[in-house]
Structure 1
Amino acid sequence: MLIVNPFATATSPAGRDALAHTLSSRFHLDVEHTTHRGHAGELARRAADDGFDVVLVHGGDGSVNEAVNGLLGPPGTFRPGAPRPRLGVIPGGSANVFARTLGIQADPLAATGQIIELLESGQCRQIGLGHTRDRWFLFNTGMGMDAVVVHAMEDKRHAGKPATPGRYFWTTVTSFLRHAGSTASFTVELPDRDPIPGVRFGFVSNTSPWTYFGDFEIRTNPTTGFDTGLGIFAATSTGVARNLPLAARLLTHRTPAGRHLHRDDDVAWVRFHADEPIDVQMDGDYIGAHASLDFGHRADALAVVAPDQSSTTHSTA
């Protein structure tokens, strides 16, 4: 099954027709277009129930997240080893973090050719996923400032403004300046460690990079990967003076460090809790305000059509 989000940032009718024609010339293909939020998950669930071998998603990270949640079902009911379709991704969004991290080419038609080669050669990887009690995430989730930025970007996209790297950058800068005096904070709890109070923004990563700025990788937890536990990146300040040096380290691929930063690249679980609900994002989608969230990790949760790990490993300084 090919699930297509026709509203994704980097898709066009001609491009969608071309990749569907290319795929159908090699495989029996059912093409489904999403029409509403959550539809990719509904279609993927149907594909799993109907015994499809592969589900391909042509869309952005949000569509892929929906499809994975449809394929796997709620984390609490997950059955290891149960038969389910493999997942393949043909990028169609603005960031495509998950596809790029897997080593899938950015151009949709080039990615289609790559997926065909991988399917015909039988290449497949098992990857670990992060999750809350009722939802899986692929690469990262966050509470606080990054969720504020995602929320602001979604508002701009709904107003008809495209999600460009430049718009993300300026939205991030203005959000930090606007909320620098905010008193909203939360506590982070980790295994075998004292609680970390007063956190102003925190990320839980399932892999690295955390995101991309155009073609540039941003690595908050450089050694976190699909075969490790979760990465945690928690900062107790949104002050510009403290975060400019941290941003400089991120932009020069140096290991993130700062007196206001708490970071670990391999933990079994993370808990965020606040006195009042705070904005949360998951895989680049705003999911509302929450006062408490528990994050866990499940190894080898998903089979993906992707190059082997050795060909997608990046070195870090």
Structure 2
Amino acid sequence: MRALLVVNPAATTTSARTRDVLIHALASEMKLEAVTTEYRGHARDLGKQAAESDDIDLVVALGGDGTVNEVVNGLLHRGPDPEGLPRLAVVPGGSTNVFARALGVPNDAVEATGAILDALRDKRERTVGLGLAAGTPGTDDESVPDRWFTFCAAFGFAAGVVGRVEQQRERGKKSTHALYVRQVVRQFIEEQHRGQGMITLERPGQKPVTNLVLSVVCNTAPWTYLGNRPVYGSPGASFDTALDIIGLSSLSSASVARYATQLLTSTPDRGLRGRHALALHDLTDFTLHSKAPLPFQLDGDHLGLRTSVTFTGVRRALRVIV
């Protein structure tokens, strides 16, 4: 077996020692090429090269969710082909590692490496569904390139939080859960000045849902983690179905307190609920529009402002080692 290891040296918990241990362990079981990313988008380029190669059977991503997202977009640059593309394995090296943990991969890099090797020996793999975000025809965002995501997308409030965190990281701040909480508070204060919600959800054959102030698209549960605590925004979301969406039509202080409490106490059976909450399950095609440009993010990567995004849930898109 020939494998490509993609290492993001800037990932939060990735170290030279972790990389060396991983390379040694994998190289003992397969023919391994290890490449360290050098620029934004490099992991995508490496995934694309692997997809076009005739002899790479496996791509291992060592990094956070952003690294995984880039590798996935490279592998799927011509679309899904589960049987024809290299398989993906993930070794968590970021601060949250939602995709890996949702797959059941240990959050420790060394333990995850051992689990991957065991899965390869036992020939354990899974074909997962993914989400695809595209520019909406007839809008200013029509020409925006399509982008795959593994676990989550957000349009509006939650994406604004991610954008704020990225700004802080560019200033030298470490990506911690405390940093995210502070940016949530600051984003909430800013949103109070917007007034009425600007987001509209449109689905084929259904009446539009209007005046949303927050929208999150989930491809799996948990939606995210606070330390070791899983947060279930949409408990029914799964790699085996299409996409779920959760939304809020109010960000009043009372509503935020109520729904924040629900998220912090969420379980695999109980997520957001209430008069101002929207929760829809297993959607294949839908579009989110806004009256004004709003922040947009995929898998924790802030992609700027958009007025419209079209989503597609694609079942059985990629094979992963579990």
Which range, TM-score by smaller chain?
A: over 0.9
1:270 to partner: Cα distance: 2.0
Q: Please report the TM-score for the alignment, with normalisation by the length of structure 2.
A: 0.91
| Conservation of the 8 A alpha-carbon contact between 2:82 and 2:318 | no
Match of 2:183 in 1: 171
How do 1:1-317 residues align onto structure 2 when only pairs under 5 Å count?
A: 1-51=4-54, 52-73=56-77, 77-78=78-79, 80-81=81-82, 83-133=84-134, 134-183=146-195, 185-253=198-266, 254-306=270-322
Q: Which moved more, 1:45-54 or 1:184-193?
A: 184-193
Residue 63 of structure 2 contacts residue 92 of structure 2 at CA under 8 Å; is this kept in 1? yes
Q: Is the 8 A contact 2:82 2:319 kept in 1?
A: no
SS in 2 for 1:35: coil
3-state SS, counterpart of residue 29 of structure 1: strand
Structure 2 SS opposite 1:257: coil
The answer to whether the 8 A contact 2:88-2:320 is kept is yes
Q: Secondary structure at the match of 2:89?
A: strand
The answer on whether the counterparts of 2:218 and 2:243 sit within 8 Å (CA) in structure 1 is yes
1:104 Cα deviation after fit: 0.4
Q: How far did residue 82 of structure 1 move?
A: 5.3
* Structure 2 residue identity aligned to 1:240: S
Cα pair 2:8 2:67 within 8 Å, conserved: yes
> Cα 1:243–1:258, aligned 2, differ >3 Å: closer, same or farther?
farther
Q: Is the 8 A contact 1:222 1:265 kept in 2?
A: no
**Residues 191 and 268 of structure 1 are in contact (CA less than 8 Å); yes or no, is this contact kept in structure 2?**
no
Letter in 2 for 1:70: G
- Cα gap change, 1:79 to 1:181, in 2 (>3 Å): closer
1:180 and 1:240 in contact (8 A); partners too: no
Partner amino acid for 1:278? L
CA offset digits 1:246-288 (Å, max 9, x no partner): 1111111233112111111221222111122110010011011
Q: Is the 8 A contact 2:82 2:127 kept in 1?
A: no
Change (3 A) 1:270 1:8: same
The residue matched to 1:154 in structure 2 has which SS?
A: helix
> CA–CA distance in 1 between the matches of 2:283 and 2:48?
30
Letter in 2 for 1:131: L
Q: Which amino acid aligns with 1:49?
A: E
Distance 1:112 1:238 in 2: 42
3-state SS of the aligned residue for 1:274? strand
Residues 225-248 of structure 1 show CA distances to partners (whole Å, capped at 9, x for unaligned) of 011121011111222211211111
Does the CA contact (< 8 Å) of 1:191 and 1:267 recur in 2? no
Gaps of 5+ in 1: 307-317
The C-alpha deviation readout for 1:123-178, integer Å capped at 9, x for no partner, is: 10001111023111100101111111000000111111111111111221222123
Q: Matched residue of 1:115: which SS? A: helix
Q: Percent identity?
A: 40
Deviation at 1:80, TM superposition (A): 3.8
Over the aligned positions, Cα root-mean-square deviation in angstroms equals: 1.3
Structure 2 residue matching 1:266: 3-state secondary structure: strand
Give the superposition deviation at 1:79: 5.1
